[in-house]
Amino acid sequence: MQNNNRLAGVVGAAITPVKPDFTPDVNRLLAHCTHLLAQGCAYTSVFGTTGEGASFSSSQKISALRQMADLGMVMSRQIPGIMESSIDAAAEQYRAAADLGARAALIIPPFYYTPSDADAVGDFYAAVVARAGSPDLDIVLYNFPVFSGVSFTPDLVRRVIARLDGRVVGIKDSTGDLEGGLALIAAFPELSVFTGDDRLVMRMVSAGGAGMIGGMVNLFPAECVALVTGQASQEAQNLAASRIATVNDTGGLPAIKAVLGQRHNDPAFTRTCPPLRGLTSEASAAVVQALGLEMMPTAS
């Protein structure tokens, strides 16, 4: 474990550019992650919620990570998401991330069967680590009950920590609940507690939080860095809140990808995996306008 190097800052929850056959476009993904790091992100995180991680197979994700490493990605600045309900699939990805030298793994609880009790959540994490051969790789717990059905209360976090031999170094709280996020920070000063919500990040950081792991970083990385470092004006904070509300109200992830696709004039950034569907050109233009951005001319 790398506890001497506390996780902090902005982690870009990278979208995944997608080929027409709905497989990851690794070259574009690498370029996108490299751009986010150059804009001040401390790390990037591929194949989480924003990266459509649950829509790709384990082999696709592992292959993409290996290709990124071969192409020059500094894997110590990568925190891949693991979005699996299968112990084997999660363990394969955890092992691969460790072997490639990733900084940590962001692991969501299993999201199909309801855990029998609180200790059963720890059973899953412990089984993943054991099946992977107990590699020396830090874990960030992913608190996103909308998708997983599991809420990481302080009590549940303690139970999971007790099972993982010092591997848990952080929590990503994507609930949007400031009070709950502050409770996690107060209960675990030794952990890096991140928010996924631009609207909460400055208050979370001022209370001892570590920063943010968020999807809006894809569109506004430098602005998100300013929020985390406390350098954003009140006007900038208001703009960030308005922007995330706009994206949430106009499609969420497809809206983020629509803006990126328009910026790059490249459908690989716009394309989503079923059951998600990309926005129409009219809807994309409306999102760009609502965000106060300018449409790029279409390549001839």
CATH of residue 142's domain is: 3.20.20.70
pLDDT band of 300, cuts 50, 70, 90: very low
Domain range for 93: 9-231
Is-contact 104 137, C-beta < 8 A? yes
> What would the pLDDT profile of 68-123 be if each residue is shown by its tens digit?
999 999 999 999 999 999 999 999 999 999 999 999 999 999 999 999 999 999 99
Establish if 95 belongs to a structural domain.
yes
pLDDT at 62: 98
User: Comparing C-alpha atoms, which of 196, 188, 112, 204 is closest to residue 156?
Assistant: 188
Within a domain: 4: no
Determine the residue type at 131: R
Percent of the chain surpassing pLDDT 90: 88
Number of domains forming the structure of the chain = 1
* In a domain? residue 25: yes
Residue 236 lies in a domain: no
- How far apart CA 103 and CA 7 sit, in angstroms, is 9
Cβ neighbours for 229, distance < 8 A, ≥ 6 positions apart: none
Does the pLDDT of residue 42 top 70, yes or no? yes
pTM attached to this predicted model: 0.94
pLDDT class for 293, splitting at 50, 70, 90? confident
Average pLDDT over residues 236-241: 92
pLDDT at 97: 98
CA distance 43 to 105: 12
Q: Is residue 290 part of a domain?
A: no
Tens of pLDDT, residues 202-224: 999 999 999 999 999 999 999 99
Closest to 213 in 3D by CA, of 111, 61, 55, 106: 106
Kindly indicate the confidence band of residue 294, based on its pLDDT and cuts at 50, 70 and 90. low
Averaged pLDDT of the chain = 94
Note whether residue 259 is domain-resident: no
Do the domain assignments include residue 218?
yes
Q: How many helices (H) and strands (E) does the chain have?
A: 13, 8
292 in a structural domain: no
Tell me what pLDDT residue 127 has: 98
DSSP-derived secondary structure letter, 77: G
Please say if the pLDDT value at position 1 is more than 70.
Answer: no
Could you say which DSSP state residue 49 is in? T
